[in-house]
Structure 1
Amino acid sequence: MEPFSDPFTIDLRRLGVLRELDRRGSVARTAEALHLTSSAVSQQLAALAREAGVPLVEREGRGVRLTPQARVLLEHADLIAAQLERARADLTAFDHGRRGTVTIGCFGSGIQGLLPEALRALAARQPKVRVRVREAQPPDLFTSLDAGLVDVAVCVDFAAAPPHTDRRYVRTDLLTDVLDLALPAGHRLADTTAEPVPLRELATDAWIVGDPRSCCGAVTRSACAAAGFTPDIRHAVDDWHALAALVEAGAGVALVPRLVQPLHRPGLVLRRPSGPPPIRNIFAAVRNGSEHDPVLAAVLAHLRDAGRAAAARA
């Protein structure tokens, strides 16, 4: 390839395509996430390679992998994105965070059990800040965060979430949410005066579990595996109201986070599993540099307060 042009300029939108390819691992999945065709993604990557003057992808079987030069470019892309967010935050600071619009992406039970308190506090103290909420989970949630479609991502730490070392984001821990066993009232282990229940005793029960790509679906499968069995999943349900109705009807047992337990029905009994309880760690993330935005800083502060209040209720 030709050496770097002088002056050296690259299209930041194309950098975003490269970052998404790094996250998704294939051109087809990148195209799907960005609502483009595979051909368009390949064209964007080829154009970025011409601008940078280095190869960015190479063939690996039927797919592609990033070159070492692409890894170097991604490190600079993270720094560039963070600096742009700081510039945006500095401009916003001129109005001292009194007004603005913020979009929060959040998983379903977080919208039910965490956001309402934070949004009420924000509305009372900063009434000119408009908030939009979008239900989403990783990896799509972080694709939206990178693209600016979401300003704050609230999610659970699990395999689909970015690692703590990902420099693209600044994380704020909100809550460690404990999961309890949900049993129908007539279940053999429904006696709430008894000792905590070993999960292994439910190895032969029917289970109600969410999609394996969802946070609670992943946590339930991991907890059962740690107890030494694979759950017999009869019902795949991600909505907590629907899950509670099925448990109450005797259709199976489930693990339920305390964040949503006030929603449950009277014919449903909650028991603590024995040993270290299954947990899910809930955090908020913003783009690196944007944490200095006074509006986002206020939103994060109210989310932290809501997390502490939820932990106290649990």
Structure 2
Amino acid sequence: MFDLHRLRLLRELKHRGTLAAVAAALSYSPSSISQQLSQLESEVGVRLLEPVGRRVRLTPQAEILIAHTEAVLERLEQAEADIAASLTDLTGTLRIASFQTAALALVPTALTLLRDAHPNLRIHVTQAEPMDALPALLARDFDLVITEEYPGDPHPRPAELEQQPLCDDPLRLATPSPTDAADPAGPTEQLRALADHPWVMEPQGTPARRWATALCRTAGFEPDVRFESADLVLHLRLAEQGHAAALLPDLAWHGRPPTVALRPLPDGHRARSLFTAVRSGSSNHPAIRAFRRALLQAISPVDRS
């Protein structure tokens, strides 16, 4: 019988990449992790790690073992969910990761609903972008991630994760011109009219930046991006004061009246999709189900889709 703790260490190595990263995440020393994995190799009777420079690489046999470990952990998560469902009250800690606009617009209301309904459930929230939060969900740093997809840029969906649609969040062009200015004929022309204007966008390499750049190129110009930030509050402030054109989601307003002129985008680019993601086997956990219900209740007064 293989040791489950050592199997989990091997799985952590696959998701975190290095012995040092596993050690830091689990508060062990790298030498202790290495020793545990050496013992696992002895139990299994084959090489699981191969040295590659200063790092190690998983062998094909290690990948086979990790696949079975994922199945075992999924069943254990199902067992945890079944035990929690048998109790009369929700307790313990639920670890949430959310990107900025959802964290500002939806999470506080969801927390209020959960505090009233389940006062003994502890919620820990971390603001994190999906490109960082989803791998951390696989590595068991979080229990649920609020994530997003931009039009034409779907993110990978590992088999180890289960996703549930949350809502569509309309995207609009925030123009630095006065609200009473005459609009060009259509959405594409409105975009093209800002070809020579400064823009604010999210950093290079992010899904939002890829989508925004493709949107402008489809309209026939390369955007003059003078401001880069993952903080959409800054995007809004720059647009409000006329320093930049911006592409903003409706959740940025959270039901409040817009403070900048907003115009529609061309067809096919008008909304991003929001999801919640959890590890396979945990979707029926009562705490996860309760948080998802609370998010849906938080959306209803602000959803304009």
CA distance in 2, matches of 1:74, 1:127: 37
Q: Which amino acid aligns with 2:83?
A: L
CA distance in 1, matches of 2:211, 2:89: 37
Does 1:17 pair with 2:15? Answer: no
Indicate the residue corresponding to 1:220 in structure 2.
212
Answer yes or no: is the 8 Å Cα contact 1:190–1:271 preserved in 2.
no
Deviations 1:204-244 (A, max 9, x none): 33210112354433432343344454422100122222211
Task: Report SS of the residue matched to 1:281.
Answer: strand
Answer yes or no: is the 8 Å Cα contact 1:221–1:231 preserved in 2.
yes
How many residue pairs align between the two structures?
300
Q: Which amino acid aligns with 1:14?
A: L
CA distance in 2, matches of 1:40, 1:190: 66
Indicate the residue corresponding to 2:87 in structure 1.
95
Indicate the residue corresponding to 2:115 in structure 1.
123
> RMSD of the TM alignment (CA)?
3.6
Indicate the residue corresponding to 1:4 in structure 2.
none
> Deviation at 1:79?
0.8
Does 1:208 pair with 2:200? Answer: yes
**Mapping of residues 16-165 of structure 1, within 5 Å:** 16-21=11-16, 26-27=17-18, 30=21, 34=25, 48-58=40-50, 66-157=58-149, 163-164=156-157
> Deviation at 1:304?
3.0
Pair 1:249–1:82, CA change in 2 (3 A): same
Q: Which amino acid aligns with 1:130?
A: R
Does 1:174 pair with 2:169? Answer: no
Answer yes or no: is the 8 Å Cα contact 2:174–2:245 preserved in 1.
yes
Pair 1:140–1:31, CA change in 2 (3 A): farther
Q: Which amino acid aligns with 2:295?
A: L
Indicate the residue corresponding to 2:186 in structure 1.
195
CA distance in 2, matches of 1:214, 1:29: 26
Indicate the residue corresponding to 1:8 in structure 2.
2
Pair 1:191–1:305, CA change in 2 (3 A): farther
Give the TM-score normalised by the residue count of structure 2: 0.80
> Deviation at 1:125?
2.8
CA distance in 2, matches of 1:130, 1:205: 47
Answer yes or no: is the 8 Å Cα contact 2:23–2:33 preserved in 1.
no
Task: Report SS of the residue matched to 1:290.
Answer: coil
Deviations 1:8-57 (A, max 9, x none): 33513313323314xxxx53895698488887776666555444333345
Does 1:236 pair with 2:228? Answer: yes
Answer yes or no: is the 8 Å Cα contact 1:156–1:215 preserved in 2.
no
Answer yes or no: is the 8 Å Cα contact 2:130–2:146 preserved in 1.
no
> Deviation at 1:183?
0.9
Q: Which amino acid aligns with 1:163?
A: P
Pair 1:87–1:252, CA change in 2 (3 A): same
Deviations 1:233-259 (A, max 9, x none): 100122222211111222221111111
Answer yes or no: is the 8 Å Cα contact 2:172–2:247 preserved in 1.
yes
> Deviation at 1:173?
0.8
Give the TM-score normalised by the residue count of structure 1: 0.78
Answer yes or no: is the 8 Å Cα contact 2:98–2:130 preserved in 1.
no
Deviations 1:126-182 (A, max 9, x none): 333332211112343234434544221111137999623x22222111012221111
Q: Which runs of 5+ in 2 are unaligned?
A: none
CA distance in 1, matches of 2:133, 2:123: 17
> Deviation at 1:68?
2.9
Q: Which runs of 5+ in 1 are unaligned?
A: 1-6
Answer yes or no: is the 8 Å Cα contact 1:17–1:45 preserved in 2.
no
> Deviation at 1:62?
8.5
CA distance in 2, matches of 1:160, 1:37: 39
Task: Report SS of the residue matched to 1:131.
Answer: strand
> Deviation at 1:85?
0.8
Answer yes or no: is the 8 Å Cα contact 2:168–2:274 preserved in 1.
yes
Answer yes or no: is the 8 Å Cα contact 2:14–2:58 preserved in 1.
no
